Amino acid sequence: MSPESDDAVIELFADALWMERGLSQNTLAAYQSDLRTASKWLQEKRELNLLQAQPDDLGDYLAALHNQGYSARSSARILSCLRQFYQHALREGAIKIDPSAQIASPRLGRPLPTSLTEQEVEALLNAPNRGEPEGFRDRVMLELLYATGLRVSELVALRPGQINLNQGVVRITGKGGKERLVPLGEEAIAWLERFDQGPRHDLLGERLCVAIFPTRRGSGMTRQAFWYRIKKHAQQAGITKPISPHTLRHAFATHLVNHGADLRVVQMLLGHSDLSTTQIYTHVARERLKSLHAKHHPRG
């Protein structure tokens, strides 16, 4: 059968997806593109169309994608597309056996979180204009994030009663209502004291706000607003890595592990209920060690 016949069955499959699942045009176009690429390979390498392909053909196709540099995640996406196509063809009676059914999905490694080097953190902390109340507030918030590893949602929800500057700890109620105490560190304590002595009042005037970090409007900072400000400060600091609200939390954990902190201590500080969630940072540290070895060892 010709490539044109594959075009027809791909169109019918896309129509069915749209009818059954209401997928967007962009998503449908992605499915069609993946199927056309597979169709082209089958035509050129095996002189088969999609409906004639056997499990070995599809396995060889995925192996070819791997050899071309496709990531495991991309290959898994393509296999998912092929499975949906063949399951539809099976329901419609166009094939008797699904050739994709026994093909194992590529193993997906857990993606390593984006972190910052210690120099990048320093640049980010110094980016806000501390001569303005908003800039000073942002500097304190960034300092506190890096000092404690708080989630951004925990940071913006902070109330004065949660922080004890004399003891140098912050009390956090995290996911699932679990409470944890996190040390602040001398730098964070000093910045919090300076913020409370002037810039916070400058932001609020005579208004009252229960949140430690208010806006000019007299309300607490939102996660979305702070994320926008983090990205703005990262741009000012010349940081080109993708920045998310969790970036400084990842940096906090990564740098602790890099400097030899026990993993269970990091788990406790982050408020992870399961140690396996924290273990991702051992992989981050391992990647760091490998890069240092490659850079500095004479046989790296």
Residue environment code for 233-261, b if the CB has 16+ CB neighbours within 10 A, otherwise e: bbeebebeeebebbbbbbbbbbbbbbeee
Does 159 participate in catalysis according to the annotation? Answer: no
Cβ(166)–Cβ(144) below 8 Å: no
Cβ(230)–Cβ(247) below 8 Å: yes
CA quadruple 172, 175, 180, 181: dihedral sign: negative
Does 297 participate in catalysis according to the annotation? Answer: no
Does 299 participate in catalysis according to the annotation? Answer: no
* Active-site residue, selected from the candidate residues 40, 110, 175, 290: 175
* Active-site residue, selected from the candidate residues 139, 233, 249, 255: 249
Does 21 participate in catalysis according to the annotation? Answer: no
Cβ(49)–Cβ(5) below 8 Å: yes
Structure tokens at 104: 């194992």
* Active-site residue, selected from the candidate residues 151, 200, 233, 255: 151
Does 180 participate in catalysis according to the annotation? Answer: no
C-alpha distances out from residue 134 to 124, 128, 131, 192, 233, Å: 15, 8, 9, 14, 12
Strand order in the sheet with 179-183: 163-164, 169-173, 179-183
Residues with a known catalytic role: 151, 175, 246, 249, 272, 281
